[in-house]
Amino acid sequence: MKKIILITLIAFFSLEAKTDYMKDLDLSGELLAFAEYGAKSSWSESEVNKVERMVEQFSDQDLKEIWTANVITYSLIGNLPDYPSRGMCKIAKRNISKLKDDDLKSIWNMNYGLYGC
């Protein structure tokens, strides 16, 4: 019985060390509020850079992937109907390269060209 408890504790703490759930939850809340819960339609380059820096703080890789895709979205369509600025294109390009999912990366590379970057 002691071995089972010890193994369970070791597994729990090793998983806990890799992902800080509370920090990620707080960060998600901050990002959602900053994005006005999806209602924000106009993004400046400095705002997208701020979101990008915040995304880097996630310990959970899935959340980081999701928010990285959001950064790409904000940079490409943040000032429609105008095309993205050169700075916004640079933000999108560097974040596309951060994506781990090859299918998602392929889609965003195609979108990158479609939005005039």
pLDDT tens sequence across 48-66: 999 999 999 999 999 999 9
Query: What tokens were used for 57?
Result: 């703080």
Q: Is residue 15 part of a domain?
A: no
Domain that holds residue 39: 20-114
- The verdict on residue 25 lying in a domain is yes
Residue 40 forms part of a structural domain: yes
Q: What confidence score (pLDDT) does residue 9 get? A: 42
Distance CA 64, CA 57 (A): 8
φ and ψ at residue 57, rounded to 5 degrees: -80, -10
Q: Is residue 4 part of a domain?
A: no
Residue ranges in the chain modelled with pLDDT below 50: 1-9, 11
Residue 10 within any structural domain of the chain:
no
The number of folded domains in the chain is 1
Residue 13 lies in a domain: no
H-helix or E-strand spanning residue 67: helix 61-77
Residue 29 counted as domain residue: yes
Three-class SS state of 108: helix
Q: What does the radius of gyration of the chain's CA atoms come to, in whole angstroms?
A: 18
Its pTM surpasses 0.75 = yes
Q: Are 55 and 64 in contact (CB under 8 A)?
A: yes
